[in-house]
Structure 1
Amino acid sequence: MFKKYRWTIVTMLFLSNAINYVDRSAMSVALPILSKKFALTPFASGLILSSFFVGYALFNFIGGFLSDVVGPRRVMGYAMAVWSIFCALTAGAFSFISLFFIRVIFGFGEGPLTSTTNKTMNNWIPLKERATAVGICNGGAPIGGALSAPLVAFISLKWGWQAAFLVLGVLGLIWTFSWFKISTDKPNNHPRVSQEELKEITAGRDIAAAQVGSAPAKVSLLSILKQRSILALIVGMFGYNYTLFFFITWFPSYLVEGRHLSISQMGIAAMIPWIAGALGQVAGSLIIDFIYRKTGKVLFSRKVVLVTCLLLAAVCVVLTGFANSAVSAVFFMTLGVCFIYLQATTYWAIIQDLVPSEKVGGTSGFVHSMANISGIFGPALTGWIVQSTGHFAPAFVLAGGLAIIGALAVAFFVKGAKNAGAVPQEQIA
């Protein structure tokens, strides 16, 4: 299976997600150093962390919409180039304002990544492999996060924090050059894709549409976005994103300020949950496809993993806030991040199941954009809570509570066709 050319595209998208999360997490790892350099209060630090999501949330939708219109290849390539350049320019920040501005533009560049990845997967991957492929692509994110903590901490202590951002910027530009050489928008445009592989990719495209009652291809994007299932999915992803971004943005500072670890100790400790997340990302995707193959129920295979794991993640995050040692805090957060990533693939798989191919990019972008509003106010709100109360525990409780609300929204309001049954096994194989 993995010898087919579509897995080269999956590999490139895996690497793009890894670079994305190394770049994105670099600021959180370097923040304890930058807070001292620029004399930032917890609230000001939160604003720096939130500034990324101002640009990011806006371009989630714009990037997804453009991937439907001009194709995911160009959108992905130009997005990587922009964020890599502004990642490198972070090294030139000289004040709170300059750092804030650079992070906003950096967010513009990273915004299209996930929705454009989803559009590419919809073009390149057959239904029976879709959750696995999306899981592998998105599995680059926690691996990138795991690498970011020790890598950025080491480079910052060895050569200064500026060097870390310069190195990461160059890495992204190398990927951009390779992507334009290797990829096409669709497999039928690529000279290395055989007719046999094209048949595999297009096989079963009508299965999900018939089973879950997806919208007709000619329906408007606005009418899709108003569907109850899509709105509930936004609530679910909002809870998931708030919890994940809380971990990405504040957990390193929590370890340094709340648990009194050194920068080098923090770099190692913050890496552990990311490793669990990477394993969870791939395992969750394999579990989803396994449940689908066994039951023939497309939407059920997604929802059961999403709801169960997001609820368990919420419990673990709350327990982290009341842990009595750094070891127990890392333990509970590791479990929480593992459960978060076990269900991370499900949102994108559900969108691909419910939405016609021509609207996957725009719908993915809108859902992602609305959910990522959590990233705009979440980090700043966490900084305000810590500054006002002197404790991190209330912020952990809030993150867990929002994850619970998200899980319940998906459980009760994301539904398929009323008369849909299981897909015959011979159609799944």
Structure 2
Amino acid sequence: MGRESSSREAGFDLGWPQWKNIPQRYKLIGTTSLAFVICNMDKVNLSVAIIPMSHQFGWNSSVAGLVQFFWGYALSQLPGGWLSKIFGGRKVIEIGVLAWSLATELVPVLAGFMPGLLLSRILVGIGEGVSPSAATDLIARSIPLEERSRAVSFVFGGLSVGSVTGYLVAPTLIQNFGWESVFYIFGLLGIWWRRPTFRCR
């Protein structure tokens, strides 16, 4: 009690920095970078899970390659920029994260039905493909010119962090909980991500 009161007298709380005290632009950059961490975690998870999945479903190398190909990613980048100009990068990222996260959650459910599995991968690719253009638009709209280069580096640096994290975490999850757990857990991260994002409003 005494420690808490003395902390307040000094001008800060023990829980500092509180979310509400963080400048809005920093919240946006932080949550967008986190979205890109999750983005690449979801991008690499199948490259780790493909081995036990191929054994379970009897896929040959051609089928495994077809499943792993990131359908929809390249095709959605140009529309992502166009949609961001109309609706704003923030809204496009929110929808993109929700789309790829739900599609990731569906992979274990649809793994035994190839057309459905390919459709889920297409949705993952589309959701992730619109995100780079949307992030660039969000930064241009929300961040002062003198801070934009640092903001871009921080946001897109999340992609590298996500790749490393995905490759480190996925094998452990598969070994302990089965290959399905990678898609369920990584997908839930994207759904959870929307909570702090909405608090940026």
What TM-score, normalized to structure 2?
A: 0.82
Higher relative contact order (CA 8 A, sep 6+): 2
The DSSP-based 3-state class of the residue aligned with 2:72 is helix
Looking at structure 1, the residues matched to 150 and 200 of structure 2 have their Cα atoms a distance apart, in angstroms, of: 21
Please report how far the alpha carbon of residue 34 of structure 1 lies from its aligned counterpart in structure 2 after TM superposition. 1.6
The DSSP-based 3-state class of the residue aligned with 1:16 is helix
Find the counterpart in structure 1 of residue 179 from structure 2. Answer: 161
- Verify: 1:8 aligned to 2:18, yes or no: no
RMSD: 1.6
CA contact (8 A) 1:38 1:95 kept: no
The correspondence for 1:25, drawn from 5, 27, 44, is 44
Find the counterpart in structure 2 of residue 177 from structure 1. Answer: 195
Structure 2: tracts of 5 or more residues without a match: 1-21
Find the counterpart in structure 1 of residue 90 from structure 2. Answer: 73
Please report how far the alpha carbon of residue 76 of structure 1 lies from its aligned counterpart in structure 2 after TM superposition. 1.2
- Post-superposition Cα deviations, 1:123-154, rounded to whole Å, max 9, x if no partner, equal 12233322221110011111111111121111
CA contact (8 A) 1:77 1:180 kept: no
The DSSP-based 3-state class of the residue aligned with 2:58 is coil
Give the structure with higher Rg (CA). 1
CA contact (8 A) 1:156 1:163 kept: yes
The correspondence for 2:104, drawn from 87, 99, 107, is 87
Looking at structure 2, the residues matched to 154 and 98 of structure 1 have their Cα atoms a distance apart, in angstroms, of: 27
The DSSP-based 3-state class of the residue aligned with 2:135 is helix
Looking at structure 1, the residues matched to 96 and 195 of structure 2 have their Cα atoms a distance apart, in angstroms, of: 12
- Verify: 1:38 aligned to 2:57, yes or no: yes
Please report how far the alpha carbon of residue 4 of structure 1 lies from its aligned counterpart in structure 2 after TM superposition. 4.2
Looking at structure 2, the residues matched to 131 and 63 of structure 1 have their Cα atoms a distance apart, in angstroms, of: 21
Please report how far the alpha carbon of residue 69 of structure 1 lies from its aligned counterpart in structure 2 after TM superposition. 0.5
Find the counterpart in structure 1 of residue 163 from structure 2. Answer: 145
- Verify: 1:110 aligned to 2:119, yes or no: no
- Post-superposition Cα deviations, 1:338-377, rounded to whole Å, max 9, x if no partner, equal xxxxxxxxxxxxxxxxxxxxxxxxxxxxxxxxxxxxxxxx
What TM-score, normalized to structure 1?
A: 0.40
Amino acid across the alignment from 2:82 = F
CA contact (8 A) 2:24 2:200 kept: no
Find the counterpart in structure 2 of residue 124 from structure 1. Answer: 142
Find the counterpart in structure 1 of residue 73 from structure 2. Answer: 56
Looking at structure 2, the residues matched to 115 and 102 of structure 1 have their Cα atoms a distance apart, in angstroms, of: 22
The DSSP-based 3-state class of the residue aligned with 1:182 is coil
CA contact (8 A) 1:60 1:115 kept: yes
Looking at structure 2, the residues matched to 58 and 176 of structure 1 have their Cα atoms a distance apart, in angstroms, of: 25
Please report how far the alpha carbon of residue 95 of structure 1 lies from its aligned counterpart in structure 2 after TM superposition. 3.9
- In the TM superposition, 1:310-329 aligns within 5 A as none
Looking at structure 1, the residues matched to 194 and 23 of structure 2 have their Cα atoms a distance apart, in angstroms, of: 22
Looking at structure 1, the residues matched to 95 and 114 of structure 2 have their Cα atoms a distance apart, in angstroms, of: 27
- Post-superposition Cα deviations, 1:304-358, rounded to whole Å, max 9, x if no partner, equal xxxxxxxxxxxxxxxxxxxxxxxxxxxxxxxxxxxxxxxxxxxxxxxxxxxxxxx
- In the TM superposition, 1:353-372 aligns within 5 A as none
Looking at structure 2, the residues matched to 48 and 6 of structure 1 have their Cα atoms a distance apart, in angstroms, of: 38
